A and B are shown apart, each in its own frame.
Chain A
Amino acid sequence: MMEFLETVLTAKYNYWIYIILMMIGIWAMIAKVNLIKKIIGMNIFQTAIILFYVSIGAKKGGTIPILEHAPGHGHDYIMDADKYINPLPHVLMLTAIVVSVATLGVALALALKVYREHQTLDEDEILSHLSE
């Protein structure tokens, strides 16, 4: 039992949380009929991916990827790759956050346009309008 706790639960529980979040998001995108709820689901999905990437970059005992000045010297820097967390996922997610805001903006604009056209955001009602 203790072995299971150490080798599986504490080592992997972060991935499980992201998978659960991601499934909530994708479920909202498929099962909800309201377009705004679908957009919220898309945002939850994106957040899960962002958290997943950031956790890939984590290192136990590592600090943020901004190099420290060594004490007493002007331009000597402490160079030990294990002491700094992986900067690459941070860069990728930095841009992904801004892009997720941009996609949210475009999705809301489209939802507004759909609402103006059909006076509803309910997917089933829009479909019945379209088939008339």
Chain B
Amino acid sequence: MKKLASVTILLLGIMLIAITAEFPRWGDPQSPASTYLSPHFIEKTIEETSVPNIVTAVLGDYRGYDTMFETTVVFCAGAACFFILGAFRREDDDQIRYFRHKDTGVVLKVKPNGTRPNSRSDFERIDPTWTPYDFIVSRVASLMIPFIQLFGLYVVAHGHHSPGGGFQGGVILAAGFLLLALSHNLRTLSARVSNKTLGLMSASGVLIYAGWGALALLFGGNFLDYSVLGVLLGLDPIAARSMGILIVEIGVALTVMSTMVIIYNNVASVGAYDEGL
């Protein structure tokens, strides 16, 4: 099997390398890919959308359908992880549970159906395999997370003038959440952002994108034609396109951020939502 695979791959590789003789030179400005649509995008983007970052303009406006379904694919991936790893398991009450006092480190062992500490008290729920947090790692992570989140918001909002946009900003925002989960544990993250909230945010991102496109239909334009929404925003049609791109980028960022965290939560804890890694 291995030999057959190697021979096939080798032959395929040689054939593909042979066919590169027909390819344009690397970096040729006259190559077919750069002569048909791309000059239109480069020359007309400012006139038509007033967005200097051509990638953002193409992503949010010219290829809006593509990006909308791409966002849906990301949402579906999050939902698939949620369903594959068995999320509807309810924790039984006939289990021994452990609670740790945050300040002194005293651990309570609560028997099945015993009285548990109030969730607002100084006790936190831990697993039997709990290990203490590293002081330096958890403090440095706590200090860094607000700045990571702020940078993520900047990348989303500034995608029109610099490299950035919904996908990149969403991933940076998710990185902040994952840093919290890795430096503390998954329960710490779930106490701040519950899995239900994440699911709702993931779905509402797609809703914002598709809803904003559908709103254009009500104002007499085509689906995802933001220019007609200038009436709603009090802007001229060109500026309305730029603003419409920002709004759909926010939807993309919401979906990407929450889906990345959902995938991590499910894969790291194998669907159990306990302490995770």
Contacts and interface: CB of A to CB of B under 8 A. Distances in A.
Interface of A: 8, 10-16, 19-20, 22-23, 26-27, 30-31, 55-62, 64-67, 69, 77, 79, 81-82, 84, 86-91, 94-95, 97-99, 101-103, 105-106, 108-110, 112-113, 116
B159 to A, nearest CB: 10
Given A95-B70, A102-B73, A57 B85 contact: no
Interface in B2-52: 2, 5-6, 8-10, 12-13, 16-17, 20-21, 23, 25-29, 31, 33-34, 37-39, 41-43, 45-46, 52
Contacts of A12: 20-21, 23, 25-26
24 contacts: A10-B26, A12-B20, A15-B17, A16-B17, A19-B13, A19-B20, A57-B33, A58-B26, A59-B28, A60-B28, A60-B29, A61-B29, A66-B55, A91-B59, A95-B66, A98-B171, A102-B73, A102-B77, A105-B77, A105-B267, A106-B77, A106-B80, A109-B267, A110-B84
Interface in B220-263: 256, 259-260, 263
Dominant secondary structure at the B interface:
helix
A14 B54 contact: no
Contact of B33 (A15, A89, A105): A89
Interface residues of B, number: 62
